[in-house]
A and B are shown apart, each in its own frame.
Chain A
């Protein structure tokens, strides 16, 4: 792969509050190339949405403190969406980068027809009258698999089911052929049968438009199905980043190992007791010194000199292309995987 389309470098987003500074996302770096899907996995409050909203330039700069870079390598040259003016970023949104959200009900305007909403996005960047816009919207609905597109383009959001609304959202996001698509929990609100329709659609659309895709999710099953690479986030930091198979078969961070152990699996019928991760994530206002995961980690006692309590581990490359933020050695991690029965 040549140059990645998006390069995020040391991105930090914090929100000042009465109780103190909330470090929602902390020193995040990653890249995504065209045709590639990066999954960002983590629990609520781990910073996955905050990071992507920063890339899209959607934070209110009066309440969010943002530093670092998010560089889009456009044909016309690179642009950093963090330092660029709001006007410049607004012109990139919808055209070079687009986003779909979890809740397709609240993301669509109830008073306008589907056709109006899709063509509005298209007419921002294309010359054409309203009629041309509706024609384009009909093509898009057809492309995302909505039957009877010519008729449905004139209907309102409430006339669509949840799955169909998510298809509309995808049609709207793709109408200007963006190079980067950020999908924030796109299937969380949907039933499994509809979820597999939408995941299939996203995969096909990625091929069709050769997009870079960032998929934000908490569902490790969905990740296994669509991602090429994975970033695991915990308490605002990336704790592990690797290719899809490495994450599942050789997890290199106790949190990832813990997550994989704690999920029930439809492919394992024999009654294995779930190994829960004890406790809960720390408050982002008063992060503990050292490793944020330490209080829930069952292996930190193996690290000498109480290092986990004093020093924040770096995101080290332990094996080629596999990064992990942990003080444990590769040997100790291997034992951790085996002792918990995490991997095969």
Chain B
């Protein structure tokens, strides 16, 4: 059996919240990620979805060690990287890259595109075949940018083109894993499709694995092989996308999917929506029992006291398993 490229076991990331006043009194602990087990196979795209504040971005950032994990282990390509220092992480970073949401904020405005993309080689001390300049131009061409624009600055590009620069930078060192955090949500609809297609093509070409963090379930459904649904720092459901979108078992997944607007007026009129009441509870003070119990339409007494474990309900072979954390799941 193939080894997963990324394996998370019991991953936790807590943030201490302070009052922010001059005494910086501790107010509490935000359990942004609270015990996540997750595997990504080589060449696989795993979509991570949930509402804002569910911890999906924190998972992505902790995986790359941009945050120091509070507990648990991160195994990348067979190596435990949980407690590696920044220095020890450096060679590993060449194999795991990130694409950011905001193509305006993530590119230094004072550097040309050539410098921005070329920096990845300089930082790692790698000289690609044919030299950095030639490789940068090749990369630009590959992501659909005009290599003649190598001396231009970020502000001379549109949002979609900037996101292509971000993609070029991420694939420059031929990484094995890319964490993409909302990579297309800042783009216009017609441009979104261009970037989604580019990510699809690159995956095939370089046998990349993606951890695709996004709130837009239509995009996630399109690009992912497997989808993981998070709520208040915990995994609620994890299945291959066909199972998850056709027959969601967790009441939260079901409600989330029913809320996604479908661009088809007749279907939209015929659809039954589950409208969740209220908002996400504060992650500083999560509900006892199942974290979803305050908004769940199927809630029973047991849910308020007992935390439902994340159990395997499907066939585990080759990542086709189905995991679920619910006392009263929907019928299969």
Whether a CB of chain B sits under 8 angstroms from the CB of A274 is: yes
Shortest Cβ distance from A161 into B: residue:
B279
Specify which chain B residues have a CB less than 8 angstroms from the CB of A162 in the assembled complex: 52
Check B246 against A263 for contact (C-beta < 8 Å): no
Check B215 against A280 for contact (C-beta < 8 Å): no
Whether a CB of chain A sits under 8 angstroms from the CB of B263 is: yes
Specify which chain A residues have a CB less than 8 angstroms from the CB of B259 in the assembled complex: 192-193, 195-196
Binds B, one of A99-107, A113-121, A122-130, A216-224: A216-224
Whether a CB of chain A sits under 8 angstroms from the CB of B267 is: yes
Whether a CB of chain B sits under 8 angstroms from the CB of A80 is: no
Whether a CB of chain A sits under 8 angstroms from the CB of B160 is: yes
A222 to B279, CA, bound (A): 20
Whether a CB of chain A sits under 8 angstroms from the CB of B18 is: no
Whether a CB of chain B sits under 8 angstroms from the CB of A108 is: no
Determine how close the nearest CB of chain B comes to the CB of A270; give it in whole angstroms. 9
Check B275 against A274 for contact (C-beta < 8 Å): no
Check A266 against B279 for contact (C-beta < 8 Å): no
A89 to B265, CA, bound (A): 36
A192 to B263, CA, bound (A): 14
Determine how close the nearest CB of chain B comes to the CB of A96; give it in whole angstroms. 30
Specify which chain B residues have a CB less than 8 angstroms from the CB of A191 in the assembled complex: 51-52, 215, 280
A269 to B241, CA, bound (A): 8
Check B261 against A222 for contact (C-beta < 8 Å): yes
Determine how close the nearest CB of chain A comes to the CB of B21; give it in whole angstroms. 16
Chain A positions 269 through 287: 1 when the CB is less than 8 Å from some CB of chain B, otherwise 0: 1010111111010000000
Specify which chain B residues have a CB less than 8 angstroms from the CB of A259 in the assembled complex: 189-190
Residues of B151-178 contacting chain A, CB below 8 A: 158, 160-161
Check A265 against B262 for contact (C-beta < 8 Å): yes
Specify which chain B residues have a CB less than 8 angstroms from the CB of A164 in the assembled complex: 279
Binds A, one of B89-97, B191-199, B324-332: B191-199
Shortest Cβ distance from B278 into A: residue:
A147
Whether a CB of chain B sits under 8 angstroms from the CB of A24 is: no
Whether a CB of chain B sits under 8 angstroms from the CB of A68 is: no
Check B246 against A269 for contact (C-beta < 8 Å): yes
Binds A, one of B22-30, B120-128, B217-225: B217-225
Determine how close the nearest CB of chain A comes to the CB of B252; give it in whole angstroms. 9
A108 to B255, CA, bound (A): 30
Specify which chain B residues have a CB less than 8 angstroms from the CB of A244 in the assembled complex: 265
A43 to B158, CA, bound (A): 13
Chain B positions 215 through 255: 1 when the CB is less than 8 Å from some CB of chain A, otherwise 0: 10111011100000000000000000110011000000001
Specify which chain A residues have a CB less than 8 angstroms from the CB of B279 in the assembled complex: 161, 163-164, 194
Check A262 against B262 for contact (C-beta < 8 Å): no
Of A44, A193, A199, A280, which is within 8 A of B256 by CB?
A: A193
Whether a CB of chain B sits under 8 angstroms from the CB of A267 is: yes
Determine how close the nearest CB of chain A comes to the CB of B169; give it in whole angstroms. 21
Specify which chain A residues have a CB less than 8 angstroms from the CB of B256 in the assembled complex: 192-193
Check B262 against A280 for contact (C-beta < 8 Å): no
Interface residues on B, range: 35 or more
Whether a CB of chain A sits under 8 angstroms from the CB of B264 is: yes
Specify which chain B residues have a CB less than 8 angstroms from the CB of A301 in the assembled complex: none
Check A200 against B275 for contact (C-beta < 8 Å): yes
Of A197, A219, A248, which is within 8 A of B264 by CB?
A: A248
- Known contacts A224-B268, A259-B190, A262-B189; decide if A219 and B261 are in contact (CB<8 Å): yes
Whether a CB of chain B sits under 8 angstroms from the CB of A174 is: no
Of B223, B245, B260, which is within 8 A of A269 by CB?
A: B245
Whether a CB of chain A sits under 8 angstroms from the CB of B266 is: yes
Check A266 against B260 for contact (C-beta < 8 Å): yes
Shortest Cβ distance from A199 into B: residue:
B261
Specify which chain B residues have a CB less than 8 angstroms from the CB of A43 in the assembled complex: 188-191
- Known contacts A266-B221, A273-B200, A276-B197; decide if A225 and B188 are in contact (CB<8 Å): no
Whether a CB of chain A sits under 8 angstroms from the CB of B288 is: no
Specify which chain A residues have a CB less than 8 angstroms from the CB of B260 in the assembled complex: 192, 221, 266
A258 to B242, CA, bound (A): 26
* 7 A-B pairs with the lowest CB-CB distances in the bound complex, closest first: A221-B261, A264-B222, A276-B193, A262-B193, A43-B188, A277-B190, A274-B193
Residues of A within 8 A of B (CB): 43-44, 161-164, 191-197, 199-200, 218-225, 244-245, 248, 258-260, 262-267, 269, 271, 273-278, 280
Give 19 pairs: A residue, B residue, CB < 8 Å, sorted on A.
A161-B279, A163-B279, A191-B52, A192-B217, A192-B260, A193-B51, A193-B256, A193-B259, A194-B51, A195-B261, A196-B259, A221-B263, A260-B263, A265-B222, A265-B263, A266-B245, A269-B245, A271-B222, A280-B158
A221-B260, A277-B190 given. 18 additional CB < 8 A pairs?
A44-B188, A161-B279, A191-B51, A193-B255, A218-B188, A218-B189, A223-B263, A224-B268, A264-B196, A264-B219, A264-B221, A266-B217, A266-B262, A267-B262, A267-B267, A274-B193, A276-B190, A276-B193
Residues of B within 8 A of A (CB): 51-52, 158, 160-161, 188-194, 196-197, 200, 215, 217-219, 221-223, 241-242, 245-246, 255-268, 273, 275-276, 279-280
